């Protein structure tokens, strides 16, 4: 297989790998609920009210994995109709995941390492994710592709934050030890902020590139 053939799969594959651990963990949670596993202090809240967690897992998994292909220019150019159809699935799944996640943050019993600060962060970023996706849909209905792209990138960056949080939390536990309520909240926040920073860089990169080309052109003309 040649490099040009592999390249279209590079970005979707990276995004899928980033979300692999949370998606697999969600699949195990659904399997646990479906099989009637033993109820413990850790999973009792899910058995008591399973619909929100199932909606969150299904919505987030579809959003992360199917959404990964929406950001590949190759797939958008080669199969534009597929991109539109997939978008009609990805956006509602993302909103469902965000709303279900916020419901869980408010109404589920908090684990020992979750406090009010993390709950607040979850509500803020869950709201931001849902609003970003809605604004992205509104933009494409107006045929504003650039604005649609920007808001969908922002929404996806927040939605895939759980993948980055695997690294922030894992690094802390490896180097420092178990998290408490404060460190857990700050490390989760770090995961979201890292993704948002990358998203904003990606959104602004074409404008930065055009500015550099224009500046180089002016230098060439005046020299």
What residue spans define the domains of the chain?
A: 3-222
**For residue 221, what pLDDT band results from cuts at 50, 70 and 90?**
low
Residue 3 has a pLDDT of 43
- The DSSP H or E segment spanning 39 is none
pLDDT tens, position by position, 125-169 = 999 999 999 999 999 999 999 999 999 999 999 999 999 999 999
pLDDT digits (tens, 9 = 90+) for 158-214: 999 999 999 999 999 999 999 999 999 999 999 999 999 999 999 998 666 655 555
Pair 115, 182: CB distance under 8 Å: yes
- Percent of the chain whose predicted confidence (pLDDT) is above 70: 89
Average pLDDT over residues 95-122: 96
Q: How confident is the model at residue 223 (pLDDT cuts 50, 70, 90)?
A: low
Question: What pTM did the predictor assign?
Answer: 0.87
The pLDDT, as a whole number, for residue 212 is: 59
Question: How far, in Å, are 13, 30, 79, 120, 183 from residue 179 at the CA level?
Answer: 30, 26, 45, 18, 6
Per the prediction, the chain carries an average pLDDT of 90
Running DSSP on this structure, what letter comes out for residue 177?
Answer: -
């Amino acid at each position: 297989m040649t490099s040009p053939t592999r390249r279209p799969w590079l970005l979707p594959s990276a995004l899928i790998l980033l979300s692999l651990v949370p998606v697999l963990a969600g699949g195990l949670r659904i399997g646990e609920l479906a099989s009637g596993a033993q109820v413990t202090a850790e999973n009792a809240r899910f058995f008591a009210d399973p619909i929100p967690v199932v909606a969150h897992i299904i919505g987030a998994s579809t959003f992360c994995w199917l959404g990964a292909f929406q950001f590949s220019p190759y797939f958008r150019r080669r199969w534009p109709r597929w991109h539109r159809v997939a978008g009609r699935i990805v956006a509602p799944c993302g909103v469902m995941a965000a709303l279900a996640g916020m419901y869980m943050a408010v109404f589920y019993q908090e684990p020992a390492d979750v406090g009010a600060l993390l709950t607040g962060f979850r509500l803020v970023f869950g709201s931001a994710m849902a609003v970003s996706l809605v604004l992205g849909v509104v933009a494409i209905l107006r045929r504003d592709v650039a604005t649609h792209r920007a808001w969908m990138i922002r929404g996806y960056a927040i939605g895939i934050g759980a993948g980055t949080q695997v690294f922030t939390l894992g690094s802390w536990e490896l180097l420092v030890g178990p998290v408490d309520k404060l460190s857990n909240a700050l490390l989760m926040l770090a995961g979201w902020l890292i993704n948002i920073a990358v998203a904003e860089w990606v959104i602004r990169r074409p404008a930065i590139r055009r500015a550099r080309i224009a500046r180089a052109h002016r230098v060439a003309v005046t020299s």
